[in-house]
């Protein structure tokens, strides 16, 4: 058995496994990202989104990117846990059910 020959023969196999490994890593990472992304958008079906991604990847991922709901408006320079009322714009605590200024339900 020629050692030089066998070590050169192994590289295409290594390349294929690196490719397969890369796809698997991208798949798992994108599913995790999909789940987290759905959760930050207050999507109650975030587990459902992850399942769609699981079975329809990568098509489900593309569909999600095209049709995902808007991220809830969280003010950047304000204390965490506060939001701007969508109706009157007043900054209110994120855990109140109604805006104390105008009564708009969140
Ligand atoms: Zn308001």
Q: What is the pLDDT of residue 67?
A: 81
Distance 106 CA to ligand 1 centre (A): 9
C-alpha 74/C-alpha 56 separation (Å) is 31
For residue range 17-45, what is the model confidence (pLDDT) as tens digits? 999 999 999 988 888 888 887 888 766 77
The bridge status of strand 91-93 relative to strand 82-84 is antiparallel
C-alpha 10/C-alpha 13 separation (Å) is 5
Q: Angle at CA 74, nearest 5°, toward 69 and 77?
A: 150
Distance 72 CA to ligand 1 centre (A): 15
Distance 75 CA to ligand 1 centre (A): 15
Residues (pLDDT < 70) of the chain are 1-7, 42-43, 72-79, 106
Q: What is the pLDDT of residue 28?
A: 87
Q: What is the pLDDT of residue 17?
A: 94
C-alpha 59/C-alpha 74 separation (Å) is 29
Distance 66 CA to ligand 1 centre (A): 30
Q: What is the pLDDT of residue 19?
A: 95
Neighbours of ion ligand 1 (CB under 5 A): 85, 87-88, 99, 101-102, 104
């Amino acid at each position: 058995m020629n050692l030089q020959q066998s070590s050169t023969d192994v590289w295409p196999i290594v390349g294929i496994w690196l490719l397969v490994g890369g796809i698997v890593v991208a798949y798992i990472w994108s599913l995790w990202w999909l789940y987290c992304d759905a959760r930050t958008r207050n999507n109650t079906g975030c587990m459902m989104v992850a399942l769609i991604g699981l079975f329809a990847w990568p098509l489900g991922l593309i569909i999600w990117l095209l049709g995902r709901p808007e991220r809830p408006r969280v003010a950047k320079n304000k204390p965490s846990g506060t939001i701007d009322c969508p109706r009157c714009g007043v900054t209110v605590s994120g855990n109140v059910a109604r805006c104390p200024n105008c009564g708009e339900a969140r």
